[in-house]
Structure 1
Amino acid sequence: MHTLFISDLHLTPTRPEITAAFQHLMQHRAPQADALYILGDLFDFWIGDDDPGSFAQTIKDEFRKLTSSGTPCYFVHGNRDFLIGKRFSRETGVQLLGEKTLIELYGKRLVIMHGDTLCLDDVRYLQFRKKVHQPWLQWIYYRLPFTLKQRIVSKVKQDVRMDKQSKSLAIMDVTQAEVERVMAEYQVDMMIHGHTHRPNIHHFDVDGTEKTRIVLGDWDHELSVLEYHQDSRYCLLHQQI
């Protein structure tokens, strides 16, 4: 018995090899798991649940097949797909979780999240995040024609790309004090997140107690999958795409 965790696939029609790797996971590995968790940035950018394109439908179909077969699937929003909403959930059977979610996995409590809010030094991004998560702004956006949404997202993608190029790698990594604060808030010894594209398993001590932070990798050149087993064994797997 095991559970799978993935994040930062950044699915897009322009990277068919990543889509194919995702489909293989959904059709051959995920059905054997007890559950699948996606910790954000499944898509490079999600424009809205009303996306009429064939690519969006292809991804939805994969989720619907998986959840219909009996494997539960859970989703935590990332910084690029925070607009995935209730319609997507209804059409796929994927269950939407909160920004930070406490789960019990085979008797162990742990907190899962995308990880962007752990990067306190990335001030410009956090200011942008606060702005676009305002309910009134999202209410307006949801009601715009899809073609206008496409133009808005295209501009946002360009701005994000330019902003990222001007940042140091250190700024885009987590703040250790915030990691420890969140783990203390949820009273857990383990955290799983993505976002930073720095796959690793970190062990550290807090007041004499060992803590573990597992960072999922992105799928730019290789897939990154965490297998967490019933006996508390876990393995961060990588495979060339």
Structure 2
Amino acid sequence: MGYRDSLVNVSGTVRFSVGPVEMRLEDYFRYSYQVKEERPLYLFDPKFSQKVPILGSEFEVPVYFREDLFNPNSTSAWNAVIKGSKKWVLFPPDVVPPGVHLSPDGAEVACPVSIIEWFMNFYGSTKNWKKRPIECICKAGEVIFVPNGWWHLVINLEESIAITQNYVSRRNLLIVLDFLKRPNASTLVSGTRDRVNLHDKFKNAIEASFPGTIDQLMQKAEEKKAEEKKPSFWDSVTDSKVEAFKFSF
């Protein structure tokens, strides 16, 4: 029995999110056999482990990513390939990928129609950039970490199955809080229908589950800023207010 048959037997009549619709796995596999369009429907269901618990019981979150405080936007993410292979192209936050255009407030992002279009029309130009993107191919059994704020594009090089999760740890908690303070945060957040007053709701949830964490992180951030403002040894000895050193003879 192939992996498709096994998944179909386990899933039965459960319907998964496939773009704007829901489909049984058997129907999705039938669709994938025949599809020829440039932008095929992509099966991506964040609740797969709730819908089919046995699937959720067969994987564990990698130890590096188990400190998950919450899950709104501006988070980091990890992606583990179960079957197949994926090509990743990542740009740091300060390098907007070619072909991508941001609105002044960052609320809207205009991109090429499809991933294939981006590769055909823009990918080649990055080869001549001084600050080139990071590229890699992840195969079955491999995991990639995507830091918050990094632009990323991924394309399946073959039929692939992967598990991905966004997460917030203490390392990027304050970044997420700052993101949710933005006036247009409600228009930028995805993955939830409850977008009203997200900053306060998120902060209250963290304080309820991890009391004192935010205050501790803010204190450490202030201490780090203060440390960075301290003059170096060289600055202190060359300060104009300090009497100049003179040779004696």
**Short-chain TM bin:** under 0.3
TM-score (norm 1): 0.24
Structure possessing the higher radius of gyration over alpha carbons = 2
Q: Could you state the TM-score of these two structures normalised by the residue count of structure 2?
A: 0.23
